[in-house]
Amino acid sequence: MREFWKEPLSEERKAELIEAMARFAVERGLAAPAIIFLELHRPLAFIGSQAGIVFSPFLVALFGFERVDEYTQLMSERENWDRLIERIEELEEERRAHRHANDTKANRRGGSN
């Protein structure tokens, strides 16, 4: 049987996982609900990660051992919740700025005809 959290996550791997989770939320238009969820459940970070281990027989069947191991380990540390919230906010701001720039360009082209 495999052991959870046998190998600690490197800072680089933590950053990769946070980036993937943040992009997942923002690309689906779920930035606000994700931030609210994370903010509300931040005090339960460690308990939530332990629940992931408790439910691992079901989660591993769906997502694979490595993913469950990495994400439960990542989310057991409260500072990673903060890093994830910050990254979601950054990506959402970038998305809004990009959309605003595109809208401005479209308005200029439409207004000059």
Query: Given a cut of 70, is residue 112 above it in pLDDT?
Result: no
Residue 2 within any structural domain of the chain: no
Residue 27 within any structural domain of the chain: yes
C-beta separation of 45 from 77 below 8 A: yes
Residue 28 within any structural domain of the chain: yes
b/e map 36-73, b = 16+ CB within 10 Å: eebeeeeeebeeebeebbeebeebbeeeeeeebbbbbb
pLDDT of 111 reads 56
As a whole number, the mean pLDDT across the chain is 90
Query: Given a cut of 90, is residue 38 above it in pLDDT?
Result: yes
- Encode 67-94 in three state secondary structure: HHHHHHHHHCCHHHHHHHHHHHHHHHHH
Q: Is the pTM of this model over 0.95?
A: no
Q: 9 or 111, which is more confident?
A: 9
Residue 97 within any structural domain of the chain: yes
How many structural domains are present in the chain?
Answer: 1
Which structural domain range is residue 45 located in?
11-111
